[in-house]
């Protein structure tokens, strides 16, 4: 393709920095190194003997998965950290949650060595996600020595999720999960993140270079071609230009075997549409005389990208594309051509290729994430689906949640929380109030105790609350009752709507107790008056012939025996719930008198039948007359 003029090359010349690399190697500051599946009976953290890296168990960073171990045939040639793994037979998505520094560039590396741990000889294939976004597909059968996937990523918060997602019948697994902080001035992009495609140092060596030679723990693979020739130095060059390319990478270089020929390098992409960022690292390894020079042009896909470049002796220069480039047909061609003034052929020490991966999906509102995780911890919920981002992608939304996520550009917020019938105990979690966009809350059919919290009334977005079928006590906050009058749908058990000493008037179809009238303007909630009267001298009236009434009763209750035989009993006070039980929730009206409707009932399921008289709001006789009749009986 044509190399556009807007695609400029940025040259970073090495500058000496005051740093102590030995101290950095010892401290591994900011490194996160997880040995996935490290058995609980083994020491954690531990030092990997071969690399000096400090690894810890992954058990504190994941709530699911099982421990596996590679086949014994791998023991002789495999590092300790690769011997165990964690596999995930349950759930569609399983996520590691890591504490990171927001805004810091991290190299994230996931390593999977199948090692026939399950004895099936079927290598799994699955997807990796960072937060809510797809990262890559990991095919564990591609390489017997294990598969490594890397990406440079800048977290949007102080919490980072790395998720394994099942895509077929095979079981996802992971051997190592590692994070390495990078210099924020290196590996910059206009947009997107950088997924490692290739990282080479040009040498005929067979050794892979990584930590501790590379203080950032990047993995450098050697590559060489028959048309090249190697030159090297025993002196250590300066590598302090922000990329900190290992000094032993810069101590060797490749030049064309034919001094007059250009240096050529080709690489084929996995997809011809991939966009690339390319990093070329140069350091002169030969001390040239005053009459000698090494000068060359840099061409990409046949177009000159940089003219008359001269590498500095024992000093790194990094040339990078500052915008992504593509390769015609997926075949990338780098060419270095000596200029007419040059007495030496071109050289190059190392090359890095990164493909652009976009992470467009915004993650769930951080305040909501913190709140729902607090609720999860409070109730010790261990749902397999409650991992990773709560709202997105929508196919992985946490069970019991609804969110407002409509597209990748909308910041997802939690709008509904349904924890009905989940065995919750204790008080209503205070963390709920931090779900500031919550519209529906259902905590019904649990074993919650304590009172109804005041903060529910302050959650302005709430339009529906269901707290029924719990063991809550106390009263409903007045502010919440006011919200109910204004349209909030509130469902609670009647015990906390109408408690000893106070009853609340509601618009429900069944009768609810109220108080005597203190004045014509104020209704004050008083005690339930429930009395059963058995007439000793009066002949019971036949109420069965009276027509039923549709009037809504009010509250104070008296009873009269309707048995044909006079039953002697003492005056007794009954609770409201007992009255409801004996009348089967006022199921059978017998008739209507001056005070209101009379209902049939029986005491404790016995043959002793009673009539329960309720004072109606529409009664033509007042409360005092009703009370007088009660006490005169």
Separation between Cα atoms, residue 270 and residue 354, nearest integer Å: 12
Is the peptide bond preceding residue 623 cis, with omega within 30 degrees of 0? no
Give backbone dihedrals phi and psi of 329, rounded to 5 degrees, phi first. Answer: 65, 15
Is the peptide bond preceding residue 403 cis, with omega within 30 degrees of 0? no
C-alpha separations of 162 from 61, 93, 96 in Å: 10, 10, 5
- From the list 176, 186, 177, the residue with the least C-alpha distance to 152 is 186
> For every residue of 132-195, which 3-state class applies, written as one string?
CEEEEEEECCCCCCCEEEEEEECCCCCEEEEEEEECCCCCCEECEEEEEECCCCCCCCCCCEEE
Read off the tokens for 58. Answer: 């992954």
The label of the residue with tokens 């290598």 reads 123
The verdict on whether residue 613 carries a ligand-binding annotation is yes
Separation between Cα atoms, residue 111 and residue 196, nearest integer Å: 13
Ramachandran class of 62: left when φ > 0, alpha when ψ lies in -120 to 50, beta otherwise: beta
Q: How many residues does the chain have?
A: 633
Report which DSSP code applies to 620. S
The label of the residue with tokens 């421990």 reads 67
Q: Which long-range contacts (CB under 8 A, 24 or more apart) does 413-416 make?
A: 413/364, 413/365, 413/368, 413/437, 414/364, 414/365, 414/368, 414/371, 414/372, 414/390, 414/438, 415/439, 415/440, 415/461, 416/440, 416/441
Read off the tokens for 86. Answer: 């964690």
Beta strands in 240-358 (DSSP E): 252-256, 263-268, 276-282, 296-300, 303-309, 317-321, 331-338, 350-357
| Binding residue ranges | 613
| Binding residue ranges for ATP | 613
């Amino acid at each position: 393709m044509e190399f556009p003029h807007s695609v400029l090359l940025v040259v970073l010349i090495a500058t000496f920095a005051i740093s102590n690399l030995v101290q950095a190697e010892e401290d591994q500051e900011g490194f996160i190194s997880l040995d996935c599946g490290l058995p609980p009976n083994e020491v954690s953290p531990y030092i990997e003997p071969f690399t000096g890296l400090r690894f810890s168990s992954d058990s504190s960073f994941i709530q699911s998965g099982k421990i596996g171990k590679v086949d014994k045939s791998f023991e002789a040639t495999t590092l300790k950290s690769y011997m165990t793994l964690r596999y995930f037979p349950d759930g569609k998505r399983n996520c590691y949650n890591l504490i990171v520094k927001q805004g810091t560039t991290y190299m994230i590396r996931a390593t999977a060595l199948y090692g026939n741990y399950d004895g099936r000889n079927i290598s799994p294939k699955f997807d990796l996600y960072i937060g809510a976004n797809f990262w890559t597909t990991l095919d564990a059968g591609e390489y017997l020595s294990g598969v490594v996937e890397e990406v440079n990523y800048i977290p949007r918060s102080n919490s980072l999720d790395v998720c394994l997602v099942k895509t077929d019948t095979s079981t996802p697994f992971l051997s190592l999960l590692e994070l390495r902080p990078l210099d924020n001035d290196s590996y910059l992009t206009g947009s997107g993140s950088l997924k490692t495609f290739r990282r080479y140092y040009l040498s005929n060596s067979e050794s892979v270079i990584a930590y501790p030679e590379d203080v950032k723990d990047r993995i450098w693979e050697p590559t060489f071609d028959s048309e090249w020739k190697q030159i090297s130095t025993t002196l250590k060059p300066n590598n302090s230009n922000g990329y900190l390319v290992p000094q032993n990478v810069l101590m060797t270089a490749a030049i064309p075997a034919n001094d007059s020929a250009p240096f050529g390098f080709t690489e084929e992409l996995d997809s011809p549409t991939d966009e690339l960022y390319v990093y070329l690292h140069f350091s002169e390894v030969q001390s040239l005389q005053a009459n000698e020079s090494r000068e060359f042009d840099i061409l990409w896909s046949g177009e000159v990208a940089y003219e008359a470049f001269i590498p500095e002796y024992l000093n790194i220069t990094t040339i990078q594309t500052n915008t992504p480039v593509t390769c015609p047909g997926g075949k990338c061609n780098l060419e270095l051509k000596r200029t007419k003034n040059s007495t030496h052929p071109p050289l190059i020490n190392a090359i890095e290729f990164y493909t652009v991966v976009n992470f467009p999906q915004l993650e769930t509102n951080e305040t909501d994430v913190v709140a729902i995780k607090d609720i999860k911890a409070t109730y010790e919920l261990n749902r397999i689906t409650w991992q990773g981002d709560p709202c997105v992608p929508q196919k992985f939304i946490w069970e019991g949640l609804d969110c407002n996520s409509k597209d990748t550009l909308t910041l997802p917020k939690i709008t509904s929380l349904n924890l009905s019938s989940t065995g919750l105990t204790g008080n209503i979690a205070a963390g709920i109030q931090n779900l500031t966009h919550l519209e529906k809350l259902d905590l019904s059919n649990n074993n919650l105790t304590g009172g109804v919290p005041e903060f529910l009334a302050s959650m302005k977005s709430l339009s529906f609350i269901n707290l029924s079928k719990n063991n809550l006590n106390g009263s409903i906050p007045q502010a919440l009752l006011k919200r109910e009058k204004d349209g909030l749908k509130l469902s609670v058990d009647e015990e906390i709507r109408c408690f000893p000493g106070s009853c609340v008037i509601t618009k429900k179809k069944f009768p609810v107790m109220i108080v005597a009238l203190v004045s014509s303007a104020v209704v004050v909630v008083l005690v339930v008056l429930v009395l059963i009267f058995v007439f000793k001298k009066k002949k019971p009236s036949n109420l069965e012939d009276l027509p039923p009434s549709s009037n809504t009763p009010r509250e104070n209750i008296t009873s009269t025996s309707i048995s044909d035989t006079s039953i002697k009993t003492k005056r007794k006070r009954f609770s409201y719930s007992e009255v409801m039980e004996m009348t089967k929730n006022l199921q059978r009206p017998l008739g209507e008198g001056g005070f209101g409707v009379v209902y049939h009932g029986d005491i404790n399921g016995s043959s002793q039948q009673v009539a329960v008289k309720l004072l109606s709001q529409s009664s033509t006789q007042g409360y005092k007359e009703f009370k007088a009749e009660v006490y005169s009986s």
